[in-house]
Structure 1
Amino acid sequence: MASPIRIGFVLFPNVTQLDFTGPLQVLSRVPGAEVHLIWKRIEPLTSDTVLTFLPTTTFADCPQLDVICVPGGAGADDAMLDEEILAFLRKQAASARYITSVCTGALVLGSAGLLKGYRAATHWSARSFLSRFGATLDTSRVCVDRNRVTGGGVTAGIDFALTLVSLMFDRKTAEMIQLGIEYNPAPPFDAGSPESAPVDVVSALTERAGGWKQREAKVARAAEKLGA
């Protein structure tokens, strides 16, 4: 790809910070990268932790992007219904080379009509909703379907970004970035997916995460609007 390579992350209140800071760390090291953090206004945005973020540009001022990425988090449930976000995504997607997401950001892409007829990955708690937007679930950690590249939940964002670099450039470039950030995961427990985690752990987390139960109604509204 020719320089500069314009990469943009669409932010929103209550974004899961690792959904985009993991990929941000990787993609900022891409040769010729010009990275944008995008929101409606230049104002501090809360994440799902104590961290806040300051966007670098607005929807109105953002240049045409080569790569557009939507992270996830609790705020993605409201982003699915935000017409300003959806309009921006549709406009950018018309010319972007790669249209991407991490975690439940896939639901936002879906709500914008950008995953219809595509395979996609998302956080395990949201897998059942992708079909509402005409997408086919892929349970891989990273799913590549033509120019749609989607990552699973949260930490999959680093794998997603390295995969994307290999597509934009080559494997060696991706491996150099991986080595530079010493991405050499060796988790202390085998509980990182619902398939491997103990059943009681999956049940306990599902019960504790009450916000997930509200997602279904918002997905239904978003799918209805998309269909209309």
Structure 2
Amino acid sequence: MRNFFSGLKLGRVFVALLVAGVSSQVMGADRIAKAVFIEPPKGAPEKVFFVALEKDAIEVPLPRRNFSPDVKLPKGDLVYAILPRPLGEEEPIPKGAPTVKIPSDWSRCYLLFNFDKDNKVFPLEVLAIDGSLNKFPPGDSRFVNLSQAWVKGKFGDKPIAISPGKIKNVEAPIKEFGPFYVALDYMEKGDEKSTPLERTNWQHNPRSRQVVLITKAAGSRYPTISALQDRVKVVEE
């Protein structure tokens, strides 16, 4: 696979996220984000920096199979440009740089980084998902279908169906710590029948939220499922 990051002259590899349209950045103690890089290609960044207009930077790891530690975010509506390096004082944000928006009412969010070969400025894209506790409580699972497959089946005793590109919350199938059975099938465009995707026991943790990613890597014959845990303290938001 071609290394699309090799010509960027990253030096110490990171991504600069410059806040646009926010005159004063106030850090909220309980407003946080978690990041993950989904199926990164060779040479992909392993760290990110959130850089505000005041040039203050917050270093964030970009793990591949787990969420990053909590990252504090400023208050307000945020618009980030995603760049491979910090900008100088007089240097403008490049036209065409990838961007992401985080609304002011999101007290927590997930940032799902992915490779975007079509962006010539910096080949990354980010999907931001609201992770506020009042919408996604501990014990629940959030399915994020990033594939072109239709997925359906049973999550414990709960029926579930997720269309391509959709996000769905599913309540915990059991209340206490313990296993539950997951049976999921998938169908892609042109398929005449569904194909088994998952047949296994999953472990429920009522203190943890679970983000379930459904993806299909380039060249792969079938989708894959990965579950990322987010353990949080139960607090009022």
Give the TM-score taking structure 2 as reference length: 0.25
Q: Which has the higher contact order (CA 8 A, sep 6+)?
A: 1
Higher helix share: 1
Higher strand share: 2
Give the TM-score taking structure 1 as reference length: 0.25
